[in-house]
Amino acid sequence: MANTFEAELEEQKKILREIQRHRSLWGEVGRRRATPSLRSPDMAVIPVLVMACNRPTVKRCLDKLLEYRPSAQRHPIIVSQDCGHAETAEVIGSYGTQVTHLRQPELSDVAVRTDHRKFQGYYKISRHYRWALGQVFRTLGHKTVIIVEDDLEVAPDFFEYFQALHPLLRDDPSLWCVSAWNDNGREGYVDPGQAALLYRTDFFPGLGWMMRRQLWDELEPKWPAAFWDDWMRQPEQRRDRACIRPEISRTLTFGRKGVSLGQFYDRYLRFIKLNSQFVPFTTLDLAYLQEDTYRGHYDQEVYTAPLVTYETLKQGQVTGPVRLQYSTKESFKLLARNLGVMEDLKSGVPRTGYRGVVSFMSRGQKVYLAPPPGWSHYDPTWS
């Protein structure tokens, strides 16, 4: 294993030297700009970390990653396997040098209190994430990583999407992740003509997401024993930072069975629309996603939309973007349920929410489910 890591590190050092050589060709242009352009060439090495356990169907995930990967040097694929499942290990091993296969060494049960024994799977997942991220950032020395689970299929422009957004994540301290996932991205709830549309969101989506090593430096010392994703959504971790998410998801989950026992899968997740149209994000100007620009424009867009009732919307009496207003946890959940979007909140933040606003399509028109004007903060008791 040590030899594998040393070889990987040496290879990455070669790549980084090549990157520096290329950067020198356009460094002068960059120095003349007061603000770095998000369309500048970004040659960062960004590995994909696949979190695997006991699903031989990881093959579906790996096949798509390899099919769409533009460069093996810039996007090495690292598969970290927990569970010690022989059949899954055999599938991963069949890819040979196309992937790096890491094996989580600690496979014993985690010591938990009696009433948490039923959550043993969540404890093992959190332990695996901590170990695997430590391998990527500490042992292999990477600066950025894209994390996917073994039950995710990626879209054709998956790598293009993350490559284009890497400079923004690197340079904007108000961001802490980029996600490929739209929690409300079911067919009929997204605009099929807006495959290039991206949003800021205060909700941590996961399910195919990119983070930087600086964030791991912050999170690793206090990494939780279990339920790591909900822990990420707590205000102490989020610290008023946002993620980027797409209108149309760049990942699709096909794993109904898991420790969550298919929670939300049958009702929501299996209907998520996976993007099929390649969007050349690296050629687009994504500066509109920078915080100062985005917040003002988004607030204006939301609060100049006509305020309507659910009954008016349901009867089809309005056209164009509209706004429905909630003021309590109960009114949000009722409207979300009636409108068909996810109603749960984590530390007071609704799924896909930005400044309290959840946006989606309904019967072909844009809908903003929003708090009253002047919103200032989330209420963590709304959970």
Sequence-ordered list of residues with C-beta below 8 angstroms from that of 273, at least 6 positions apart, any chain: 185, 186, 187, 190, 192, 248, 249
| CB neighbourhood size of 5 (10 A) | 15
Which member of 172, 191, 229, 230 is catalytic?
229
Which residue type does 149 have?
E
Tokens representing 87? 């059949």
| CB neighbourhood size of 343 (10 A) | 17
Sequence-ordered list of residues with C-beta below 8 angstroms from that of 77, at least 6 positions apart, any chain: 47, 48, 50, 62, 65, 66, 69, 98, 99, 100
* R_g (Cα) of the chain, nearest Å: 21
- Whether residue 159 contacts residue 75, with contact meaning beta carbons closer than 8 Å, is answered with yes
Q: How far is CA 212 from each of CA 44, 47, 57, 62, 136, rounded to the nearest angstrom?
A: 12, 11, 28, 23, 11
Helix (H, G, I), strand (E, B) or coil at 123: helix
Nearest to 183 by CA among 201, 210, 196: 201
Element (H, E) at 361: strand 358-362
Tokens representing 298? 């988004």
Sequence-ordered list of residues with C-beta below 8 angstroms from that of 245, at least 6 positions apart, any chain: 179, 180, 181, 182, 198, 199, 200, 201, 205, 352
DSSP state of 274: B
Tokens representing 34? 């007061």
83 φ, ψ to 5°? 80, -25
229 is catalytic: yes
Which residue type does 256 have?
R
Which residue type does 311 have?
E
**CA distance linking residue 107 with residue 291, whole number of Å:** 43
Q: Report the catalytic residues.
A: 229
